[in-house]
Amino acid sequence: MRTDLRLVRYFVATAEDLHFRRAADRLGIAQPALSRAIQALETELGVALFIRSNRNVQITPAGRAFLGRAYEILSLMERATEEVRSAHDGRIGSLRIGYTDFAIAGPLPTLLKDFQERQPQITLKPQHGVTLTQMHRLAEGKLDIGFVTGPVSKDGYDQHPVQSERFVCVCADSHPFAERDAICLADLADEDFVHGNSTDWQHFYDYLIPLCRRAGFVPRIVQEAFNTAGILGLVSCGMGVTVLTEDVCSALAPGLVVVPIEDVTERLITSAIWRRDHVVGPTRHFVDYLQALPAPQHPT
Amino acid sequence: MRTDLRLVRYFVATAEDLHFRRAADRLGIAQPALSRAIQALETELGVALFIRSNRNVQITPAGRAFLGRAYEILSLMERATEEVRSAHDGRIGSLRIGYTDFAIAGPLPTLLKDFQERQPQITLKPQHGVTLTQMHRLAEGKLDIGFVTGPVSKDGYDQHPVQSERFVCVCADSHPFAERDAICLADLADEDFVHGNSTDWQHFYDYLIPLCRRAGFVPRIVQEAFNTAGILGLVSCGMGVTVLTEDVCSALAPGLVVVPIEDVTERLITSAIWRRDHVVGPTRHFVDYLQALPAPQHPT
DNA sequence: TGCGCATGATGCCGTTTCGGTATCAAAATT
DNA sequence: AATTTTGATACCGAAACGGCATCATGCGCA
């Protein structure tokens, strides 16, 4: 038998009253039960906590030492109980948020800042990851909310669109396209492309490849880069052109030009996504926050 | 049912393993018992601590919040258990020591200092009190060790002599006795006496009165004072003479003279005294310390 | 001095809690 | 499709807890 909190509570009451019957009354038990419980505690600790007579009860020095700690333990247990309930309510705790290059270039930073001001007790933990990585981490319970290239069809998950971007062409300022107001997608048929690798960027390719096929070509990827910064770096060196989204290109480095693609009306959707069975604590608060936002601008 | 430490321990093991059967093995119980215990804890708290599947177990945000506190609670309980045992051993705690005017004028301060150096974890709490007061406080358990005018015959108490003092006469330097090398006790027969009140000083009178009777007189107390300082103050004003002990008079204020009483060989004994049923913790250490001391000097 | 009272301890018993074995349910793996 | 893995549930016996009755002891009072 290990000392448990019931015995600690009984001990505290007895130490406060120094009278077994009165302490038992206070605890709502019979005096003999209290007598036995204190004896059990003394046996467990191997130390006499009280000196008893039929006239009075005195606490021993060891009992006095234990009393201070007993108060601390009971207080800490109460605090822990309160905090676990607060964490469940979502009033405290951490929120692990994944994001893609597209997400971080869009309204997400503003959203996070706003949410943080509303819920200062919640610690935000942003983590970069391509859509594929984020989906794995959601499944493993290592991520609470993902911001991914969507929409994603997956059972057990809910999502909410937060961003909708046009596709644009990006080329070096020395490229012929740089002089044009706009191009058509078919104009890219013979161009060398720079993009991300096919595994990490598979969700982006799920948009791009069908569009190009419909325009009659398969994009010729001549260079791969790790992320958008890498892609743009290669493009500015004249290695090729690329197709990205308008938000990613809103603040371009010198030497690069954004050219609209006038015959593509499809948009890249970035959605917040979470596991349906994980909407507790801070996650619930964040989901509620997202769903209270106006829908992303999406003109027809 | 209130959350107890057994459930906290089970929770910690489960959170560490994230696998019910392995955690149960670790705890030395069957997996179903652990499953039920965690469910009971979740019911008690009203919060899900884990997400279960037949393939894996994940901890919820609330569970993570609770885990930190669980470690603290278990650690605090261990520390409390260790400390109560140390207090019983006497390695920590406090020691309430009573002392009379005679005791504090003798070797007691030196003893306390020495003991304190040997047991720095024990807090000494000295409390002045006449013998009668100290005996009450010992009986009430509000004092651990008394230093009283002894010997005391009282059941349930043990004592150890620490001090043995000759009786001396103290008078103002203008008094005729001041010119003498020594007096006899009978020389005090017609003198006005200054002393403590008969209640507080009853143990001292238990020595003095029989001695005076044997010398053929009853001392004429004309003035009472609260303590030795008060007595000596009145004597130096010429209100009368007094009989005290040599240690009390070892550092006299100007205007007072100590005159030996050559025909009195009896000595005032100051003894350490404690309740036999209270020799635990720091008290035990102090008693052991005292009993290891050489006996007080007591020439024949 | 004897009796009554107060109070913690102990005995006996019923109720509740805890833990074990066996089994079920569901998902993943082979 | 069969097997394996793993947490949940059912049934049962053991252990723990608490209540009532009673005992033991010391103190206070007449």
Q: With an 8 Å Cβ cutoff, are B88 and A48 in contact?
A: yes
Mean pLDDT to the nearest integer, A140-167? 86
Assess whether A129 and A210 both reside in one domain.
Answer: no
Assess whether A81 and A97 both reside in one domain.
Answer: no
A74: closest CA of chain B, how far (Å): 9
- Is the model's pLDDT at A85 over the cut of 70? yes
Assess whether B273 and B158 both reside in one domain.
Answer: yes
A66: closest CA of chain B, how far (Å): 5
What are the chain B neighbours of A283 within 8 Å (beta carbons)? 61
- How does residue A93 score in pLDDT terms, banded at 50, 70 and 90? confident
Higher pLDDT, A295 or A238: A238
How far apart CA A165 and CA A167 sit, in angstroms, is 7
- Tell me: the pLDDT tens digits for A288-298? 889 888 766 55
CB nearest A81 (choices: B3, B85, B280): B3
B1 touches strand C (CB under 7 A): yes
Assess whether A77 and A22 both reside in one domain.
Answer: yes
CB nearest A61 (choices: B5, B93, B277): B93
Is residue B297 one of the residues assigned to a domain?
no
Q: What does the pLDDT read at residue B91?
A: 66
Assess whether B190 and B148 both reside in one domain.
Answer: no
Assess whether A264 and A287 both reside in one domain.
Answer: no
- Tell me: the pLDDT tens digits for A159-173? 898 989 899 999 988
A2 touches strand D (CB under 7 A): no
Amino acid at B260: P
Assess whether A35 and A157 both reside in one domain.
Answer: no
Q: What does the pLDDT read at residue B38?
A: 94
Is residue A13 one of the residues assigned to a domain?
yes
Is residue B296 one of the residues assigned to a domain?
no
Q: Is the dihedral of CA A278, A282, A286, A289 positive or negative?
A: positive
Higher pLDDT, A17 or A118: A17
B37 touches strand C (CB under 7 A): yes
Which of A86, A104, A131 is at the close of a domain?
A86
CATH of the domain at A149: 3.40.190.10
Q: What does the pLDDT read at residue B298?
A: 54
Q: With an 8 Å Cβ cutoff, are B81 and A141 in contact?
A: no
Q: What does the pLDDT read at residue A147?
A: 93
Assess whether B39 and B107 both reside in one domain.
Answer: no
| Angle in degrees, CA A51, A54, A57, rounded to 5 | 35
Give the nearest nucleotide to B27, CA to C1'.
Answer: C19
Q: What does the pLDDT read at residue B39?
A: 92
Q: Is the dihedral of CA A236, A242, A243, A244 positive or negative?
A: negative
| Cβ atoms < 10 Å from Cβ of B106 | 25
Residue B168 CB contacts under 8 Å (≥ 6 apart), including other chains: B243, B244, B245, B246, B249, B258, B259, B260, B261
A32 touches strand C (CB under 7 A): yes
How far apart CA A4 and CA B5 sit, in angstroms, is 5
Residues 47-106 of B with CB within 7 A of strand D: 52-57
Q: With an 8 Å Cβ cutoff, are B69 and A79 in contact?
A: yes
Q: At B173, list the tokens.
A: 């330097």
Q: What does the pLDDT read at residue A101?
A: 85
CB nearest A62 (choices: B46, B87, B141): B87
Cite the beta strand spans of B142-250 per DSSP E: 146-150, 157-172, 192-196, 220-225, 242-245
Is residue A213 one of the residues assigned to a domain?
yes
Is residue A212 one of the residues assigned to a domain?
yes
Q: What does the pLDDT read at residue B1?
A: 39
How far apart CA B251 and CA B94 sit, in angstroms, is 31
Q: With an 8 Å Cβ cutoff, are B2 and A5 in contact?
A: yes
Residue of A1, A77, A85, A91 to mutate, testing the B interface (most B Cβ within 10 Å of its Cβ):
A77
The whole-number mean pLDDT for each consecutive block of 10 residues of chain B, a chain of 300 residues, reads 79 93 91 93 90 88 90 92 82 82 86 84 83 85 87 83 91 88 91 85 87 89 81 83 86 81 90 84 87 66
Q: How many domains does chain B have?
A: 3
| B55: nearest CA partner in chain A | A140
Is residue A298 one of the residues assigned to a domain?
no
Q: Which residues of A178-209 are buried (b: 16+ CB within 10 A; e: fewer)?
A: eeeeebebebbeebbbbbbeeebbebbbebbe
A208 touches strand C (CB under 7 A): no
- Tell me: the pLDDT tens digits for A36-60? 999 999 988 988 999 998 888 999 8
Cite the beta strand spans of chain A per DSSP E: 50-52, 57-59, 93-99, 122-128, 146-150, 157-172, 192-196, 220-225, 242-245, 256-260, 267-275
Instruction: Give the phi and the psi of residue A3 in degrees, each rounded to 5.
Output: -55, 130
Maximum Cα–Cα distance across chain A: 105
Which of B89, B124, B141 is at the close of a domain?
B89
Q: What percent of chain B has pLDDT over 90?
A: 29
- Is the model's pLDDT at A30 over the cut of 60? yes
How far apart CA B258 and CA B173 sit, in angstroms, is 9
| Cβ atoms < 10 Å from Cβ of A32 | 11
Mean pLDDT rounded to a whole number for chain A? 86
CATH of the domain at B33: 1.10.10.10
Inter-residue contact A14 to A64 (CB < 8 Å): no
B65 touches strand C (CB under 7 A): no
B250: closest CA of chain A, how far (Å): 36
Q: What does the pLDDT read at residue B2?
A: 52
Q: At B51, list the tokens.
A: 């997400």
A145 touches strand D (CB under 7 A): no
**Host domain of residue B228:** 165-266
Q: What does the pLDDT read at residue B90?
A: 67
- Is the model's pLDDT at A2 over the cut of 70? no
- How does residue A300 score in pLDDT terms, banded at 50, 70 and 90? very low
**C1’ D14 / CA A6, Å:** 21
**A-to-B residue pairs, Cβ atoms closer than 8 angstroms:** 146
Q: Give the three-state DSSP class for A237.
A: coil
How far apart CA B65 and CA B115 sit, in angstroms, is 47
| Cβ atoms < 10 Å from Cβ of B125 | 12
Q: What does the pLDDT read at residue A14?
A: 94
Q: What does the pLDDT read at residue B247?
A: 84
Which of B69, B89, B109 is at the close of a domain?
B89
Peptide bond into A151 cis (omega under 30): yes
**C1’ D15 / CA A87, Å:** 36
Q: With an 8 Å Cβ cutoff, are A281 and B62 in contact?
A: yes
Q: What does the pLDDT read at residue B297?
A: 59
Assess whether A245 and A279 both reside in one domain.
Answer: no
Residue A292 CB contacts under 8 Å (≥ 6 apart), including other chains: none
- Tell me: the pLDDT tens digits for A184-220? 999 999 999 988 887 788 888 888 888 898 888 888 8
Assess whether B85 and B98 both reside in one domain.
Answer: no
**C1’ D2 / CA B7, Å:** 38
Closest CA to B280 of A4, A58, A67, A12: A58
Is residue B16 one of the residues assigned to a domain?
yes
Q: How far is CA A245 from CA A170, A171, A179, A236, A292, in A?
A: 9, 13, 20, 16, 26
B20 touches strand D (CB under 7 A): yes
- Tell me: the pLDDT tens digits for B86-138? 887 766 677 889 998 888 888 888 888 888 888 877 878 888 888 888 888 88
Q: With an 8 Å Cβ cutoff, are A93 and B58 in contact?
A: no
Q: What percent of chain A has pLDDT over 70?
A: 95
Is residue B298 one of the residues assigned to a domain?
no
Assess whether B176 and B254 both reside in one domain.
Answer: yes
Assess whether B26 and B63 both reside in one domain.
Answer: yes
Q: At A266, list the tokens.
A: 């499809």
- Tell me: the pLDDT tens digits for A102-127? 888 888 888 888 888 888 778 788 88
- How does residue A69 score in pLDDT terms, banded at 50, 70 and 90? very high
